[in-house]
Homo-oligomer: A and B are copies of this chain.
Protein backbone atom coordinates (compact mmCIF):
# COMPACT_ATOMS: atom_id res chain seq x y z
CA UNK A 1 0.00 0.00 0.00
CA UNK A 2 1.23 3.50 -0.81
CA UNK A 3 2.65 5.63 2.02
CA UNK A 4 0.06 8.38 1.52
CA UNK A 5 -2.85 5.89 1.53
CA UNK A 6 -1.55 4.34 4.76
CA UNK A 7 -1.15 7.83 6.25
CA UNK A 8 -4.73 8.74 5.28
CA UNK A 9 -6.07 5.50 6.75
CA UNK A 10 -4.21 6.04 10.06
CA UNK A 11 -5.42 9.67 10.20
CA UNK A 12 -9.01 8.58 9.47
CA UNK A 13 -8.86 5.81 12.06
CA UNK A 14 -7.60 8.19 14.76
CA UNK A 15 -10.20 10.92 14.14
CA UNK A 16 -12.86 8.17 14.11
CA UNK A 17 -11.90 6.16 17.23
CA UNK A 18 -11.25 9.42 19.16
CA UNK A 19 -14.96 9.46 20.11
CA UNK A 20 -14.80 6.00 21.76
CA UNK A 21 -12.99 7.15 24.97
CA UNK A 22 -15.45 10.10 25.15
CA UNK A 23 -18.37 7.64 24.94
CA UNK A 24 -16.84 5.42 27.66
CA UNK A 25 -16.10 8.42 29.91
CA UNK A 26 -19.65 9.82 29.53
CA UNK A 27 -21.16 6.35 30.10
CA UNK A 28 -19.13 5.79 33.28
CA UNK A 29 -19.43 9.28 34.78
CA UNK A 30 -23.11 9.67 33.81
CA UNK A 31 -22.30 13.34 33.24
CA UNK A 32 -22.21 15.22 29.97
CA UNK A 33 -22.81 18.79 31.14
CA UNK A 34 -19.52 20.08 29.70
CA UNK A 35 -20.26 18.69 26.24
CA UNK A 36 -21.83 21.27 23.92
CA UNK A 37 -25.27 20.45 22.45
CA UNK A 38 -24.37 22.53 19.38
CA UNK A 39 -21.12 20.61 18.85
CA UNK A 40 -22.81 17.19 19.05
CA UNK A 41 -25.76 18.14 16.82
CA UNK A 42 -23.60 19.96 14.22
CA UNK A 43 -21.17 17.03 14.21
CA UNK A 44 -23.97 14.48 13.65
CA UNK A 45 -25.54 16.52 10.80
CA UNK A 46 -22.09 17.02 9.21
CA UNK A 47 -21.30 13.30 9.42
CA UNK A 48 -24.65 12.40 7.81
CA UNK A 49 -23.74 14.77 4.93
CA UNK A 50 -20.28 13.11 4.68
CA UNK A 51 -22.12 9.77 4.36
CA UNK A 52 -24.36 11.11 1.57
CA UNK A 53 -21.26 12.58 -0.12
CA UNK A 54 -19.36 9.28 0.24
CA UNK A 55 -22.31 7.38 -1.27
CA UNK A 56 -22.48 9.78 -4.25
CA UNK A 57 -18.76 9.52 -5.06
CA UNK A 58 -18.63 5.79 -4.12
CA UNK A 59 -15.81 6.40 -1.61
CA UNK A 60 -15.79 3.33 0.65
CA UNK A 61 -13.23 4.67 3.23
CA UNK A 62 -15.26 7.90 3.64
CA UNK A 63 -18.45 5.85 4.11
CA UNK A 64 -16.89 3.38 6.59
CA UNK A 65 -15.15 6.04 8.71
CA UNK A 66 -18.29 8.16 8.90
CA UNK A 67 -20.61 5.23 9.71
CA UNK A 68 -18.43 4.45 12.76
CA UNK A 69 -18.14 8.14 13.77
CA UNK A 70 -21.92 8.61 13.37
CA UNK A 71 -22.66 5.61 15.61
CA UNK A 72 -20.24 6.85 18.31
CA UNK A 73 -21.33 10.52 18.23
CA UNK A 74 -25.04 9.58 18.14
CA UNK A 75 -24.60 7.42 21.27
CA UNK A 76 -22.75 10.33 23.00
CA UNK A 77 -25.63 12.66 22.01
CA UNK A 78 -28.11 10.07 23.32
CA UNK A 79 -26.22 9.89 26.65
CA UNK A 80 -26.24 13.70 26.86
CA UNK A 81 -30.04 13.69 26.37
CA UNK A 82 -30.34 10.98 29.04
CA UNK A 83 -28.16 12.76 31.62
CA UNK A 84 -29.22 16.33 30.86
CA UNK A 85 -29.96 18.75 33.65
CA UNK A 86 -32.81 21.20 33.47
CA UNK A 87 -31.90 24.77 32.56
CA UNK A 88 -28.66 23.81 30.85
CA UNK A 89 -27.67 25.85 27.82
CA UNK A 90 -24.99 25.78 25.12
Contacts and interface: CB of A to CB of B under 8 A. Distances in A.
B90 A7 contact: no
A18 B46 contact: yes
A90 B21 contact: yes
Contacts of A33: 31, 34
A28 B4 CA distance: 40
A19 B46 CA distance: 12
Interface residues of A, number: 43
Contacts of A53: 4, 7-8, 11
Contacts of A26: 34, 36
Interface string A54-67: 00110000000000
Interface of A: 3-4, 7-8, 10-19, 21-22, 24-26, 28-29, 31-40, 42-43, 45-47, 49-50, 52-53, 56-57, 90
